[in-house]
Amino acid sequence: MATEARRASVDVVGDVAAWGAHFCLFYETKQDLLDTLISYCKSGLEREEYCLWIVAEPLTIEEARAALKNAVPDLDRYFASSRLEIVPARDWFLPGGVFDGKTLTASWYEKLASLSAKGYPGMRITGDTTWLSKKEWTHFCDYEDGLNEVIGNQRLAVLCTYPLAACGAPQILDVVRTHQFVLARRHGNWDVLETATLKRAKAELKGHNEELERRVAERTSELIKASEGLREAQAELARVTRLTTVGELTASIAHELKQPLAGAVANSDACLAWLSSQPPNLDEARAAADRTIEAATRASDIIGHIQALFRKAAPERTKVNINEVIEETLGLIRGEALRNNVSLQTELGSQLPPVLGDRVQLQQVVLNLVMNGIEATRSVDDRTRQLRIRSARHDPNQVVVAVADSGPGIDPHVVGRIFEPFYTTKPQGTGMGLAISRSIIEAHGGRLWAEPNTPRGATFQCRLPADIERVQ
């Protein structure tokens, strides 16, 4: 930006945003000099920076001051606060009538130290060189060269101005060598010359930038690839988790299904037996047939629930009765709980407002929390294995579902991590269950978290926004 700005126009000489710049201006006319320096100083003053203008013949202090006053109306204020100093070059460069580079450099250090102490946002200095004679040229060039070190990386810019008329080719070469870049202004037109060092530095910088950009691009594409891979892996894991859960649940579901099927078969056989007894007992036969139908209906309901639970449905937002979700899920899990000797207790709040959400996803969450709860109690042998599922209205706008187990509780060291993807404490766990559950709940505008139970165990709680308008 700074480079572009410098090239653009007079105004932008003011915008020497590159601090630490030690640059020079070759000028043709007095007007060229004034144009440049007014712009340079004005811009600094407007930014509350400190400005030092070292003026040399043929320009006088008064002319400089008047020209600046035209551009900066409240100039006196800056003088009054010593934010602006306009000093004659002979006083500055030739104290005692001789040029002494070393003393001058030392006095720069001093000056800059006292200015820095005042905490200006920046300092800009400009000095003209018309006073310079041929005999001092070499010394002055050494001094200019050393100035680069003085400037270092302070918030300081130094603009040295040289009259073109006084400079031959060797002088111009010297000036170009000792400055970071060169401006030339001839009758109102700008030229920017860059020094070889700067060019090299720029080229190097450009190379670095390109390298950096290349690396950034490379790394970005790697990251994109990795995150795509991660997303795929997550999707795959979510699927596997589902399948694993299905696997774990198969025994439970099979039992749930065999129960009504056994009822249907037993009652059908009983019906046949009553029909073929002598004489046929139609009342008993009818009762058995009724129970057969009931059993078959129950089997079909169970299949419906399983389908609802595992079909790949697009997320939808419907009015969901959370208690129904809990009861349906518990219907599937009951066998599993029984097998693990876990007593399931429910405390479902009455007249809960509905939740706007995806029924299947919410079932997945409840299923996951309950399965986790059952697993958590597996290690419990000295007390009742208990799982309490509670639903309630939490303030008027929220519905809360809590699953509390009597297991060993969550290690406080890992409690912060259990919702992280791939984090698991179970040998066969994928570490995705809670992560997916939380993302589902959050997608519903809710929150899912865990907290310890007293005296032991853990409670997983989720809060979901209620669909209030509909209930009223």
Partner 1 sequence: MKHDTPTVFVVDDDPLIRNGVRSLIGSVGLRVLTFGSALDFLRSTRPDAPGCLVLDVRLPDLSGLDLQRELRESDIHIPIIFITGHGDIPMTVEAMKAGAVEFLTKPFRGQNLLEAVQGAIARDRAARQERAEIAELRKCFDTLSPRERDVLGMVVTGLLNKQIAAELGISELTVKTHRAHIMEKMRAGSLAELVHITDRLRSVPPRE
Report cis status (omega within 30 of 0) of the bond before 452: no
Among 90, 155, 255, 393, binds partner 1 (CB under 8 A): 255
In the complex, least distance from residue 247 CB atom to partner 1, rounded to whole angstroms: 14
Each residue 311-330 as x (binds partner 1 by CB under 8 A) or -, in order, gives --------------------
Stretch of 78-86, 231-239, 335-343, 451-459 lying at the interface with partner 1 (CB under 8 A): 335-343
Residue with tokens 């031959």: 168
In the complex, least distance from residue 223 CB atom to partner 1, rounded to whole angstroms: 49
In the complex, least distance from residue 410 CB atom to partner 1, rounded to whole angstroms: 29
Stretch of 14-22, 39-47, 264-272, 460-468 lying at the interface with partner 1 (CB under 8 A): 264-272
The answer to whether residue 295 forms part of the interface with partner 1 (CB under 8 A) is yes
The answer to whether residue 378 forms part of the interface with partner 1 (CB under 8 A) is no
Which CB atom, from 107 or from 276, has the smaller least distance to partner 1?
A: 276
What whole-number distance in Å separates Cα of residue 61 and Cα of residue 86?
Answer: 7
Which CB atom, from 116 or from 259, has the smaller least distance to partner 1?
A: 259
Site for partner 1 in 402-431 (CB under 8 A): none
What whole-number distance in Å separates Cα of residue 274 and Cα of residue 270?
Answer: 6
Site for partner 1 in 121-150 (CB under 8 A): none
The answer to whether residue 265 forms part of the interface with partner 1 (CB under 8 A) is yes
Pairing outcome for strands 181-186 and 318-320: unpaired
What whole-number distance in Å separates Cα of residue 342 and Cα of residue 321?
Answer: 25
What whole-number distance in Å separates Cα of residue 197 and Cα of residue 361?
Answer: 65
In the complex, least distance from residue 381 CB atom to partner 1, rounded to whole angstroms: 16
For residue 69, how many C-alpha atoms fall within 13 Å in the half-sphere facing its CB?
Answer: 10
The answer to whether residue 260 forms part of the interface with partner 1 (CB under 8 A) is yes
In the complex, least distance from residue 225 CB atom to partner 1, rounded to whole angstroms: 46
Stretch of 227-235, 263-271, 405-413, 464-472 lying at the interface with partner 1 (CB under 8 A): 263-271
The answer to whether residue 281 forms part of the interface with partner 1 (CB under 8 A) is yes
Binding site for partner 1 (CB under 8 A): 251, 254-255, 258-274, 277, 281, 284, 287-288, 291-292, 294-295, 298, 335, 338-339
